[in-house]
Every structure is written in structure tokens, then in C-alpha cells.
């Protein structure tokens, strides 16, 4: 009884009305925080001032470190600086820092909330040398895919832009990297909303959740990127001279050597990546589809119906969207005409 | 207030909580959006898996938010999220060491949420959480996991006992305890088991088995945990039960308030809820009490357990890692087991030999343990040297009063359990101390004396035997029990039941206007018999659950030759007045238990009476003098051995006396007048003061005007006022009593 009485008293205390008195200041609430104090600034007596200007290399690393800054403008400015310093370097000279050092800082910016930062990022990416990109596609792709499915439409669009740049720069690597084909296709379908029969009908709520972007015509851009992506993945191999060159090689090599190219160590940076010796075990979606034949097989079984359906409804919609969809249809038609392969 | 900083997500106006809310309302329409978020999660997971250690959440949406979101809507898309739980489990199992704390906690929470949504079963959840609990170095995570595991087990057992889950979990705990005897990881098993035991979720032998293994562990902490469980687990459980029943609401009061205060829907709902709760509680109260055995009774092999406890932790003094306190705990458990189950560990008694010196620290605990370890099947010649040693070391004129009284008390406690351990000369020696000047010693010695007057009067000197004992000795109807002789069985408290029945009968007869003491004739007896049946039915109604049992009255087994007589119980009762007491007791035992079947109602009453008797004996007044009437389950404590040692210290100071007087009383804050306490109570209940109080407290200046005007009243006015007052008083206040 004793303890419960005490408890009751405590409870009662919470509901007592504070007494207001004329001429007295109002009582402060219990959770009041005194913010009247002022912090004093600390001035450093000895600042590290140098007479000599920092070298361009050290400046480059400095700006690289600023990429993870909290302020939007600082990120954007440092990106701009990096872009100019890369673009203005003498021709054929190496980058101030290797791509493998630059890239980890850049990757999270694909998902940056600020539009300008992302635009600047794309500019920077475009300045990077293409053959360096080829080896880092595996790192880039997850971020791009995360961007493509982002809730914010702007981020989706810029991710699609980055993807189309990647396809342009290293198409073969993009489609044949681990998870590059199936997962990215899935992302495309989800951006376009073509996954199921129901969701691709014109009557379904196309306006996706989240704020529609300020950049306009997102669907058109996505369709364009899809066309490029499909072309890189299952389009007719450029210059069917591949076969002929094979023949040439066969014929040109001296007699005992037979199909020498196949037995040489390949020139790509990670020739045994498909063995997946050190990574997580992959499932069907995350598998590498290295040849066009594989990709075509997967595509025709998993994505073809959905894409056909989507294209049809897009064409029916007409306008700019219809025009963009016709680009995709063209690529698709060519690929289908080429069939599973020679 | 400072303006809240706008998060990046709010800028882009695409927040997951909003989407989550919409999905929950209409999962089908938002499937595409969900799919997108699922891909997003997949990519983030991929990024994370590529470099678990260096993962930093720089993006707008972190993996944590995504996991939270997906697990909240997991039940809407079971086919898309088939392997989501498994992914989370993998993530947690593989990387729980390097995950950042918030993400880690989120994953644990999400897993529990998924279990709640039936996306995974509780066995998987427990199999995930438990290994992490025992391996993680993070304290906060451990606390979280422990709490989650416990609540998971509680919810799984809330409706009905989930035997399957309990069994698997118990097996896991058992394996944890037995797999590595040296590691302290088994502490978690102990903690968990003890908690579940306390809440009466686990009450079976397997639980006890886990604790048994724990107390045989080689890690001293684990051992202490297990031993403490056996010594205190049941008490803890009872206390928990009391606590649960403590906080009930006063339904009457709520109803009353509902009648007075403003009627709102909320208040009506509160009252309804309170009533429902009250009903539920009542129902629970009436349900047959779940039969919970104490942990000590659920042991499979007490002899083996006690043996190995003794040899492992006490006997081998060379590699003794335990400190004194732990050793005492183990000793307490061993002796408790020996006393309770009447085990035989012969080396235990010789082991005691070296600890029985007054200089030994905590010697009273050793003495208590020794007494506890004694029972009537211990050979007296094992105990005799021990008693001799106690007598030599403790009880002498030269030793201090406290020591002597502790020694005497210990000897008495041993002899209560095994009276044959005493020899004649020693007893007569010890009894001489009843003349001691020291009060504590004197009382202890008298205790011993009164014990032996009952159990072995012939060992005492003639003048010490007392009247009763010497008379019965002369009559020769008291014989000393031999070693191993068992008393013919009886039911504890059966005489209480009989007495109660007798009283009930007398009451009944008094109601009917008959002489309560007279023996009715046969017809009267039959009527009475019927009445008893009805009464028993009522009883069984009270105990609940037995209502549908027809005619659960006693069935008379008496043969035809008994018919003519009164029922044996009554006969016995009648005889009791003439015969000597012990004879009547024997008759009683034979009568009630052998002539009829005790109904469940009877058994319930029996339990009640027994509890009542136990409570009575706990009262300080009746406590004194009683020696052997302790329940076997209760252990003997060092305080009991110290006994009235306080008496030998000399006079108490005033403070001590006050404290002593306070002991028996309920806690009261301070001394206050009745009026003041009443006022306090009213204030507490939120009630207002009386008119009298208000008048007394009224501001003086306010009363001034009226007082002044009173002075100026004319005689006529005064008369009118007085008359009105008189009338009012007569009528009984302003409103008056309507009757007159």
C-alpha cells in the first residue's frame, strides 16, 4: 500500500496545473533548453601558410577529399575543379590520381540529392578515359542500379544518363559484368513500369510514387537508354567481320598453331572473373552472361514478353514517347532477326 | 524552439514512410513502386556486401531505412520477398561484428518484426539470435538480443505452451552448457532459463536439467549461477506471482466514478476494460492452481547430482577456484539436497569436521548446512563425533555466550532430525546449561531439553524429564524410535481438515437449534449427511472446474457392521475426550483418510488449511517453542542457528528495541494524527476538503465584513437568524431530511 500511494502521488503531480501569477514571468517548461550562450571562436595563432602554391596534384587530392563534404555547393565545386583539372591535363599524360582512387569518392554521388552535383558528376565521368572505365564497371553498376530505382525521379533520370554513358563507353563490359544484364534489365522494367501485364496497361497509374522530376521527359530518356543498352547486349555484333577475322587468323597463323587466340591469356583485366573465386555466391540474376548467345536466351525467356507489351502500349500513346519507343523497337527487331546467334 | 533541419529526403519529397503507409493501404497498386524499392535494397545490399567494413551511408537513403521499410510491408508481398528473411539472417550472422550499431539493431528489430508477420518461424529466429547473443562483444546488442529472445519465448508460450519450440530451445541451452564446461558463455543459458522459470514459462524437468549441468560446470561464475537458481529460483517465482496479482484495479471505484464524473466514451471504455480485466483475473483465480514443483523436486538423480557437486566443488580442495561465498552456496545446495531427498554422502560429514571451529568465518552457515544435511537415515555414529566436536569447541563456560548458544542451537537442529546421534552423558552435560546466566545459552539449552523430553526422555536425568514425559515413561507407552524406523504414513494436515469438518457440523447443528455437542440419532445423522453433501457441492463450486462432477460427496466405505455405530471419525472425536491425546491422534489418522475418498473440494480445503497453519506458525508468538514443524522444502539459515544469540549480548539499546518492535509491523511512513492521515488520503484521491476545513482556512479579511455586520444587527434580526438556524438544525441541514 505504501509504495502504491507514493506512486499515485507522483502520478498526480504530472497533472497539476502550473499556477500563473500576475507580474511574474511564465514558468519555463521542463524541457527548456537554454540557448542564450555564445560559443567563442578559436583563433589559431599559427596557421599553416605556405609561400609556395600547392601543387596541382595535392590540390587534386584535396578536392577529392572534399567530395564527401556536407555542403552541396562544396561538393559541386570540387567536382567542377576535378573535371577541369582532368580535362586540361596535357594529352596522353596520366591522370593525377588513378581511376581506382578517384572512383570510390564519386560513386556515392550518383545517389546525391542535389541535381547540380549529379550533373557535374556526369561531366566529370565523361572526361575519364574510356579504357579505364572498362575495368570499374562492376563497381559502378550497383550504384547506377540503386539510382535507377530511387524514389526521387531526378535521381532516376540522372542514373539512366550515367548508364547510357557507360554503355557508350564500355558497352560490352556493362552487359557482360556480373548482374549487369538481368538486374539492369529488371531496373529498366521497373523504371518504365512494365513489369507485369497489369502495370503496363495505359489505364494503370503510370505516375509513379514520389515527386516527378523537374527535368521533364524522363520516359523518353529512359527509352533511349534502353535502346542503347539492348543494342549493346543483344544487338548484331558490330562488323560481322569477327568471323572473318577468325578465319584470317586461322589462316595466317603458321601451321602447327591452331586457333591460337583462344589459348592465349586474354587481355581483359580480370579474365577469370566468371569463376567468382572470392565473392559471394551468385544467383541467376547476379550471374555473368558473357556471350551474346547467353544474353539472348535469358532475354527471350524473361524479358521479351514484358518489353513487347510495354513497347506496344508506348507506341499507342504516340507523341514523343511513341517516337522514342520506335527506336527501341528497331533495335529489338534487328536483334530478333539476328536470332540466338550465328 | 530551433527550426528543425530539413532532411535531404524531405527535399525530394519521396519518403519511405509515406510509401509504406500507402502500400499498407493498397498493396496491389503500389507493387511497381515496391519492386523499385526492392531493387534499390538489392543494389544497396550488393554495395554493402562488396565491402562490409567500409560501408558508409552517404546516400539519401541508407540500407537501414530500406530494411526497415521492406520488413514493414513484408506481409504484403510474400512472393517477392521469399528470401528476404534469409538475406537478413546472413547479413547479421556474417557481419555482426563489423556492422554499425544502428544498422545491426535495425536488422534485429526487423527480424523480430518479420517473425511477428509470420514471414519466418520462431525457431529460425531464435536459432539466429541466440548464437549472436553468446558471441557478440557488444554490450548493447547483447541486451537487445536477450530482451528480444525472452519476449519471443514469452509470446510463443502466451496462449498455449509451445512444447516444440521450448524443447528445441532447451536443447540448445543444454548443449551450450555441456559443450564447453570451462567457458562462461553458459551464463546466458542460466540467465535465460532463470528468467523463464521465474515467469513460469518453463517449469519442467528439462529446465532443471540445464541448471543442474550448469552447477556442475567448471567455470565458477556459471556454477554459482546454477547453484543460486536452485537455492532461490522458486522463491523468486513465488514473489513474481505475488507481484503479478498485486496491481489490480478497483472496479467498484471506477464504476462509482463513472456515475459521478462526466460521461465520455473514453471513460466508459476504460471502465469496460477494467471490468473485463477484473473478470479475467477472477476466472484465473478460480482456475485450479497450476501444480508447480520446485526445482529441487524435479531433479532426476539427486543422489548423483549431490555426489558430483560435492566431489567437484567441495572435496577437491587442491584446485578450488571458488571463493568462500561460492563454496558456502554449493554447500548449502548439497546439504539441502541431502536433507530433502534423504541422500547418503558419507564423506560429507567427515568433511565438515575441520570447519566446525568458532574461529571459522561464517561458521553458523556451516552449522546450518550440517543440520540441514542431517536426516533420520544418517547413521548416528557418523554424526556423533560431529556433535561431540561442536560441544567441545563451542559449548563451554569459557566461551562467549553467542558462541555457546550457536553451538547448542546447532546441536538441537541436528538432533531434531536425528535424535539418535546424541549420547546420554553429553546430553545431560548440555542440559545443565539451562542454569546459565546468559539468556541466549539458557534458552538454547532449554530448547534442547524440551526436544529430548519428547523424543528421548529416558536419556535425561530424572528431575529434567518433566511431568508428562516421566508419566508416559512410567506407563511405558512411549518407546524410543529405532534407527530407520518409519512412522506409519499420514496425510499432512488431515487432522486440520477433520477439525474443520467437525466445527462446520457443530455450526450446522447450532443453526438447526440442536445441541452442538450432542450426538444425534441415526435419522438426524442421515439428514446431516445429506446436508454435508450439499455443502461439499458448494465447496467444489468455489474451487471451480469440478462443477460437473456429480455427487462428489464422500462415499462411505464403512461395512455393514459399522452401520449401527456412529461414523468412526465422530467416535474418535468422542473418545478423544476420554483417552489420552496421542492415542486419539492415531485414531484420527486412521479415520478420515481410510474411511472415505477425499474429494477435490476436500483436498482444496486441506491445502487451504495447511497454508493457514503455515501462516499461523510464521507469526512470532507461536513461532517460539516450535522446533520441528518446519516444511521440508525450506532451508535452514544461519540466522536460525544464531538464534537468540542477541539475548546473550546484554541489554538492547533503545534504537535496537524500537527496530525490533518495528520488525513485525507493516511499514508505516511516520507517526501522524488520524485526522492528518485522513486528509492526506483525501488529497491523494483528488477529493476536496470538508466545509469545516474550508471555513477554517478562509482568509481572515474575507470573514471580517460578515463579523462586523453581525455586530450591528438589531435584536429582531438576531432573533430571526437564530430561529432560522434552529429550524434548519431541526430539519437536518439546508435541504433537510425529506422524511420528517
For B118-131, write each residue's pLDDT tens digit.
888 888 888 889 98
Closest CA to A290 of A271, A264, A263: A271
| B49 chain-A contacts, CB cut-off 8 A | 280
Matching residue, cell 476538503: B689
What is the average per-residue pLDDT within A291-313? 84
Q: Where would I find the beta strands (DSSP E) of B65-192? A: none
Residue B667 pLDDT > 90, yes or no? no
Cell numbers for A182, please give them.
538481368
Helix axes B16-25, B31-50, angle to 10 degrees: 140
% of chain B beyond a pLDDT of 70: 76
Query: In Å, how far are B402, B404, B410, B644, B659 from B439, measured between CA atoms?
Result: 10, 11, 17, 8, 20
pLDDT of A218 above 80 = no
A84 touches chain B (CB under 8 A): no
* Maximal CA-CA distance, chain B: 107
Nearest to B12 among A186, A199, A211 (CB): A211
- The answer to whether A280 contacts B47, with C-beta atoms less than 8 Å apart, is no
3-state class of B292 per DSSP? coil
Cα separation of B564 and B160, whole Å? Answer: 53
More confident residue, B240 or B478: B240
Reported ipTM exceeds the 0.95 cut: no
| Rounded average pLDDT over A302-329 | 82
Terminal C-alpha separation, chain B: 66
Per the rule left: phi > 0, alpha: psi between -120 and 50, beta: everything else, B357 is: beta
- Give the largest Cα separation in chain A, rounded: 111
Q: How far is the C-alpha of A235 from the C-alpha of A187, rounded, in Å?
A: 19
Q: How far apart are CA B728 and CA A335, in angstroms?
A: 110
Name the DSSP letter for residue B287: S
The answer to whether residue B428 scores a pLDDT higher than 70 is yes
Contact (CB, 8 A) for A284 and A182: yes
Instruction: Find, among B146, B201, B139, B137, the residue nearest to B170 by Cα.
Output: B201
Residue B14 is nearest to which of A8, A211, A286, comparing CB atoms?
A211
Tell the burial category of A104 from Cβ atoms under 10 Å away from its Cβ (0-12, 13-18, 19+). Answer: middle
As a residue count, chain A comes to: 342
**Does residue A180 surpass a pLDDT of 90?**
no
Whole-model pTM: value is 0.68
Q: Which residues of B touch A205 (CB under 8 A)?
A: 29
pLDDT at B714: 93
DSSP per-residue codes, B424-459: HHHHHHHHGGGG-SSHHHHHHHHHHHHHHHHH-GGG
Burial class of residue A60 (count of CB atoms within 10 Å of its CB; 0-12, 13-18, 19+): buried
Confidence class for position A342, pLDDT limits 50, 70, 90: low
Q: Three-class SS of residue A79?
A: helix
**Residue of A230, A228, A242 lying closest to A295 (CA atoms):** A230
Q: Are A280 and B669 within 8 A, CB to CB?
A: no
pLDDT for B244 equals 65
pLDDT higher than threshold 90 for residue B721: yes
Chain A contact probe: residue of B8, B19, B36, B48 with most A CBs at under 10 A: B36
| B32 to A190: CB separation less than 8 angstroms, yes or no | yes
Distance from B2 to chain A by nearest Cα, in Å? 9
The alpha-helical segments, DSSP class H, found in A111-240 are 115-127, 130-134, 137-148, 153-176, 182-192, 197-200, 218-234
Residues in chain B with CB shorter than 8 Å from the CB of A196 are 31-32
CA–CA gap between residue B580 and residue B372 (Å, rounded): 33
Amino acid at each position: 500500500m505504501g509504495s502504491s500511494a507514493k506512486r499515485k502521488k507522483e502520478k498526480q503531480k504530472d497533472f497539476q496545473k502550473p499556477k500563473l501569477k500576475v507580474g511574474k514571468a511564465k514558468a519555463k517548461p521542463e524541457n527548456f533548453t537554454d540557448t542564450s550562450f555564445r560559443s567563442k571562436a578559436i583563433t589559431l595563432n599559427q596557421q599553416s601558410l605556405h609561400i609556395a602554391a600547392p601543387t596541382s596534384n595535392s590540390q587534386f587530392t584535396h578536392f577529392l577529399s572534399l567530395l564527401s563534404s556536407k555542403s552541396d555547393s562544396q561538393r559541386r565545386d570540387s567536382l567542377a575543379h576535378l573535371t577541369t583539372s582532368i580535362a586540361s591535363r596535357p594529352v596522353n599524360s596520366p591522370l593525377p590520381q588513378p581511376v581506382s582512387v578517384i572512383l570510390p569518392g564519386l560513386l556515392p554521388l550518383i545517389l546525391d540529392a542535389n541535381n547540380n552535383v549529379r550533373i557535374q558528376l556526369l561531366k566529370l565521368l565523361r572526361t575519364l578515359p574510356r579504357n579505364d572505365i572498362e575495368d570499374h564497371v562492376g563497381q559502378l553498376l550497383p550504384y547506377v542500379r540503386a539510382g535507377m530505382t530511387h524514389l526521387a525521379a531526378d535521381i532516376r533520370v540522372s542514373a539512366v544518363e550515367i548508364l547510357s554513358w557507360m554503355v557508350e563507353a564500355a558497352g560490352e563490359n556493362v552487359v557482360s559484368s556480373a548482374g549487369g544484364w538481368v538486374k539492369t534489365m529488371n531496373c529498366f522494367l521497373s523504371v518504365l513500369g512494365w513489369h507485369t501485364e497489369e502495370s503496363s496497361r495505359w489505364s494503370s497509374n503510370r505516375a509513379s510514387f514520389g515527386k516527378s522530376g523537374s527535368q521533364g521527359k524522363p520516359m523518353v530518356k529512359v527509352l533511349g537508354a534502353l535502346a542503347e543498352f539492348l543494342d549493346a547486349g543483344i544487338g548484331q555484333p558490330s562488323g560481322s567481320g569477327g568471323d572473318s577475322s577468325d578465319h584470317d587468323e586461322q589462316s595466317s597463323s603458321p601451321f602447327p598453331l591452331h586457333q591460337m587466340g583462344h589459348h592465349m591469356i586474354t587481355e581483359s583485366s580480370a579474365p577469370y572473373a566468371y569463376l567468382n573465386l572470392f565473392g559471394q555466391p551468385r544467383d541467376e540474376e547476379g550471374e555473368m552472361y558473357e556471350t551474346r548467345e547467353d544474353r539472348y536466351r535469358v532475354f527471350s525467356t524473361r524479358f521479351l514478353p514484358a518489353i513487347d507489351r510495354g513497347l506496344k502500349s508506348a507506341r499507342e500513346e504516340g507523341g514523343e514517347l511513341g517516337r522514342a519507343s520506335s527506336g527501341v523497337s528497331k533495335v529489338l527487331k534487328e536483334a530478333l532477326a539476328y536470332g540466338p546467334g550465328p | 524552439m530551433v527550426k528543425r533541419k530539413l532532411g535531404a529526403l524531405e527535399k525530394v519529397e519521396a519518403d519511405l514512410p509515406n510509401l509504406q503507409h500507402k502500400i499498407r493501404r493498397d498493396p496491389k497498386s503500389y507493387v511497381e513502386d515496391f519492386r523499385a524499392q526492392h531493387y534499390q535494397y538489392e543494389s544497396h545490399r550488393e554495395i554493402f556486401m562488396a565491402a562490409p567494413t567500409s560501408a558508409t551511408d552517404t546516400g539519401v537513403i541508407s540500407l537501414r531505412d530500406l530494411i526497415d521499410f521492406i520488413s514493414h510491408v513484408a506481409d504484403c508481398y510474400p512472393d517477392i520477398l521469399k528470401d528476404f528473411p534469409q538475406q537478413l539472417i546472413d547479413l547479421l550472422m556474417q557481419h555482426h561484428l563489423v556492422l554499425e550499431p544502428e544498422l545491426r539493431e535495425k536488422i534485429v528489430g526487423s527480424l523480430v518484426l518479420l517473425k511477428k508477420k509470420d514471414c519466418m518461424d520462431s525457431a529460425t529466429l531464435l536459432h539466429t539470435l541466440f548464437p549472436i547473443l553468446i558471441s557478440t562483444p557488444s554490450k548493447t546488442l547483447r541486451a537487445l538480443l536477450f530482451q528480444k529472445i525472452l519476449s519471443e519465448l514469452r509470446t510463443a508460450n502466451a496462449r498455449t505452451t509451445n512444447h516444440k519450440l521450448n524443447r528445441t530451445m532447451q536443447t540448445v541451452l543444454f548443449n551450450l552448457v555441456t559443450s564447453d564446461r570451462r567457458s562462461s558463455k553458459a551464463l546466458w543459458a542460466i540467465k535465460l532459463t532463470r528468467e523463464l522459470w521465474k515467469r513460469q514459462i518453463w517449469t519442467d524437468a528439462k529446465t532443471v536439467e540445464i541448471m543442474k549441468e550448469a552447477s556442475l560446470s567448471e567455470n565458477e561464475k556459471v556454477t554459482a549461477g546454477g547453484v543460486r537458481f536452485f537455492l532461490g529460483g522458486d522463491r523468486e517465482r513465488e514473489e513474481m506471482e505475488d507481484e503479478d496479482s498485486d496491481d489490480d484495479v478497483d472496479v467498484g471505484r471506477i464504476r462509482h466514478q463513472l456515475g459521478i464524473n462526466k460521461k465520455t466514451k473514453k471513460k466508459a471504455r476504460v471502465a469496460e476494460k477494467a471490468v473485463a480485466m477484473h473478470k479475467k483475473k477472477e476466472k484465473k483465480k478460480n482456475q485450479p492452481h497450476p501444480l508447480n514443483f520446485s526445482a529441487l523436486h524435479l531433479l532426476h538423480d539427486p543422489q548423483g547430482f549431490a555426489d558430483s557437486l560435492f566431489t567437484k566443488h567441495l572435496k577437491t580442495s587442491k584446485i578450488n577456484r571458488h571463493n568462500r561465498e561460492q563454496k558456502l552456496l554449493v554447500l548449502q545446495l548439497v546439504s539441502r539436497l541431502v536433507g530433502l531427498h534423504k541422500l547418503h554422502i558419507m564423506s560429507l560429514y567427515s568433511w565438515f569436521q575441520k570447519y566446525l571451529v568458532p574461529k571459522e568465518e561464517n561458521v553458523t552457515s556451516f552449522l546450518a548446512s550440517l543440520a540441514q544435511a542431517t536426516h533420520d537415515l544418517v547413521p548416528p555414529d557418523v554424526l556423533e563425533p560431529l556433535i561431540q566436536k561442536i560441544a567441545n569447541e563451542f559449548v563451554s563456560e569459557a566461551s562467549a555466550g553467542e558462541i555457546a548458544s550457536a553451538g547448542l542451537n546447532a546441536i538441537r537442529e541436528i538432533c531434531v532430525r536425528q535424535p539418535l546421534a546424541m549420547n546420554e552423558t553429553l546430553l545431560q552435560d548440555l542440559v545443565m546449561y539451562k542454569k546459565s546466566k546468559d539468556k541466549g545459552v539458557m534458552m538454547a539449552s532449554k530448547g534442547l531439553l524440551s526436544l529430548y523430553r519428547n523424543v528421548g526422555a529416558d536419556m535425561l536425568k530424572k528431575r529434567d524429564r518433566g511431568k508428562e514425559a516421566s508419566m508416559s515413561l512410567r506407563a511405558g507407552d512411549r518407546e524410543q524410535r529405532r534407527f530407520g524406523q518409519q512412522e506409519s504414513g499420514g496425510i499432512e494436515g488431515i487432522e486440520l481438515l477433520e477439525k474443520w469438518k467437525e466445527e462446520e457440523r457443530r455450526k450446522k447443528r447450532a443453526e438447526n437449534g440442536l445441541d452442538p455437542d450432542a450426538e444425534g440419532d441415526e435419522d438426524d445423522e442421515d439428514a446431516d449427511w445429506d446436508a454435508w453433501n450439499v455443502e461439499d457441492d458448494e465447496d467444489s463450486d468455489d474451487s471451480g472446474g469440478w462443477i460437473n462432477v456429480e455427487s462428489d460427496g464422500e462415499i462411505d466405505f464403512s461395512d455393514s457392521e459399522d452401520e449401527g455405530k456412529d461414523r468412526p471419525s465422530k467416535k474418535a472425536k468422542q473418545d478423544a475426550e476420554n483417552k489420552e491425546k496421542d492415542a486419539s491422534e492415531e485414531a484420527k489418522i486412521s479415520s478420515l483418510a481410510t474411511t472415505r475418498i477425499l474429494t477435490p473440494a476436500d483436498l482444496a480445503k486441506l491445502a487451504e488449511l495447511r497454508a493457514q497453519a503455515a501462516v499461523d506458525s510464521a507469526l512470532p508468538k507461536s513461532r517460539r517453542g516450535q522446533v520441528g514443524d518446519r516444511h521440508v522444502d525450506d532451508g535452514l539459515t544461519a540466522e536460525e542457528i544464531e538464534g537468540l544469540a542477541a539475548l546473550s549480548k546484554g541489554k538492547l539499546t533503545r534504537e535496537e528495541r524500537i527496530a525490533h518492535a518495528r520488525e513485525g509491523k507493516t511499514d508505516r511512513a511516520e507517526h501522524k494524527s488520524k485526522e492528518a492521515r485522513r486528509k492526506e488520503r483525501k488529497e491523494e484521491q483528488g477529493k476536496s476538503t470538508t466545509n469545516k476545513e474550508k471555513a477554517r482556512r478562509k482568509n481572515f479579511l474575507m470573514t471580517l465584513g460578515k463579523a462586523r455586520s453581525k455586530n450591528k444587527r438589531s435584536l429582531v434580526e438576531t432573533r430571526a437568524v437564530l430561529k432560522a438556524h434552529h429550524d434548519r438544525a431541526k430539519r437536518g441541514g439546508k435541504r433537510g431530511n425529506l422524511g420528517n
